Structure 1
C-alpha cells in the first residue's frame, strides 16, 4: 500500500485510513463506480491501481497480497476473474476520477471514481508518423497510375456483368424447353 501522506489522515489514524481505503476499494471493485469526496477519491486511486496490477499478475502470491488488503474473498474473486482480464492490455490508468460538484449538506467537493474498462486503442508513435510522411511522396506516383488504369478496369467490370446476363438467358431458355411440352399439351387439350 502506498505510504500515507503527511498531515491529517482521512479517518483519524493510519490504521483507520487503511481500513477506509480498503473498504472504498472493495466498493469500487464491486460496483465499478462510486461517488465519494474528492480527497478520498484521490487517495483511493493509487491503492486501487496497485491492487489491479496485482490482479493482472494473477498468481497465488498476488491473490494473497490482495486478500491482505481486502478481506472479502468474493470481491477479490471478482477482481481477479472479471476486472483483470478487461484491463490486461492496459499499462496503467485503470481508474478515472471525475469531479461532480459539491455535496448538498456540508458543501464537500464530490467526485466519481470509476474503473476504466474500455478497450485500449493503439496510438501511432511520432516515428511511425514521420515514416508515413516520408513514404507519402513516393506513393503519389502509383496513385496517378491507378487513375489511368481505371478505364480498362471499367471494361473488365462490364464483362462479368454481361456474362451473368448470358447465363440468365441460357437459364431462362432451359426452363422454357421443359415448359414447352406442357404448353403443347395444354394447346392440344384446347384444340380437342
Structure 2
C-alpha cells in the first residue's frame, strides 16, 4: 500500500531524479513542448506549474528561487519575460499532457507535455523547420542535377 507516499520515484535515486526533473522543467520552459514518458510528464507537471507561478509573482525573491531550480539563465529570463505573462489571469492548469504512442525499446507510453497557449510559437517553429528542410532539399536537387549534367557532358565528350 502506498498510503501517504506522494511523488514519483521513476526508478532513480534522489539526486538523479532531481536532476532529471530540473532538466525536464528547464526544457519545457525553453521549448514549450517536450516528448517524454507519461510517468515523467506527470511527475514534472507540478514543478512546471510552480515555476510559472513564481514567474507570475515576478519579484526578486521569486526570480532567485527560479534561478536556484532551473538549469540555465536563459530559461529564467524566458520564464519571467514570455511564459509567465501568458497566464496572467489563469489560476493554474498551465500544461497539457497528450499521449503519443509507445517507446520503441521498452514499450513505455510516450506523451507530449506542452504549455497551453504556445500553439502560435510552435506553429512558427514548425514552419521555420519546414522551410529550412525545403531549402536544403532544393539545394541538394540542384547539386545532383549539376553533377548529372557534368557526367553527361563527360560521357558525350568521350
**Alignment RMSD, CA only?**
1.6
Aligned match of 1:113: 113
Answer yes or no: is the 8 Å Cα contact 1:11–1:20 preserved in 2. Answer: no
The runs of at least 4 consecutive aligned structure 1 residues that moved more than 4 Å come to none
TM-score, length basis structure 2: 0.68
> What does 1:43-58 correspond to in 2, within 5 Å?
43-58=43-58
> Map of 1:66-85 to 2, 5 A cutoff?
66-85=66-85
The separation in 1 between residues aligned to 2:90 and 2:40, in whole angstroms, is 24
Report the secondary structure of 2:89's partner residue.
coil
1:5 matched to which residue of 2? 6
Indicate the SS of the match to 2:101.
strand
Q: Residue 160 of structure 1 corresponds to which residue in structure 2?
A: none
Deviation at 1:110, TM superposition (A): 0.5
1:38 aligns with: 38
Bigger Rg, which one: 1
* Residues 91-146 of structure 1 deviation map (CA, whole Å, 9 limit, x = unaligned): 1100000111111222110011000127xxxxxxxxxxxxxxxxxxxxxxxxxxxx
SS at match of 2:77: helix
Size of the aligned set, in residue pairs, is: 114
TM-superposed CA distance for 1:17, in Å, is: 1.0
Q: Would you say the 8 A contact 2:23–2:71 is kept in 1? A: no
What SS does the aligned partner of 1:80 have? helix
Could you tell me the TM-score, scaled by structure 1's length? Answer: 0.56
- Post-superposition CA distance 1:32-86 (Å, at most 9, x none): 0000000000000000000100000000000001111113111100000000111
The Cα shift of 1:24 comes to 0.1
1: distance between equivalents of 2:18 and 2:105?
26
